[in-house]
Amino acid sequence: NAGVTQTPKFQVLKTGQSMTLQCAQDMNHNSMYWYRQDPGMGLRLIYYSASEGTTDKGEVPNGYNVSRLNKREFSLRLESAAPSQTSVYFCASSTKSTSGRIQYFGAGTRLSVL
């Protein structure tokens, strides 16, 4: 049972380069999320997708784009990377249980922008 899979695990970019972070879940969840984690800041929501074909901005969307390719996949794109985007990125998916939505997280991608 793979759960939420993120690729790559590590990436180093130069300022101005572009890249896409991939996320896939095999739990048939409708909702998916992208967060970033910075030291001393906790996790902050970048974008989310409540269902296939829909995406919405979170708390810190500037400099990012997302694509909900299908129900399984939700990608995050940096068009022109900046040093301020150096962070650890987490993808999550969620399902509704009898106790509300529970989010399951991927292992994270550590991104450094030089």
Write out the residues near other proteins by the rule CB under 8 A.
31, 33, 35, 40-45, 48, 50, 56, 58, 88, 90, 92, 94, 99-105, 107-108, 110
Token pair, residue 26, equals 């095999």
Token pair, residue 81, equals 């990377």
Would you say 49 or 85 has its CB closer to other proteins? 49
Amino acid 90 reads F
Residue whose token pair is 């095999």: 26
CB 85 within 8 A of CB 78: yes
Would you say 77 or 101 has its CB closer to other proteins? 101
CB 112 within 8 A of CB 8: no
Would you say 14 or 42 has its CB closer to other proteins? 42
Q: How far is the CB of 91 from other proteins (least distance, A)?
A: 10
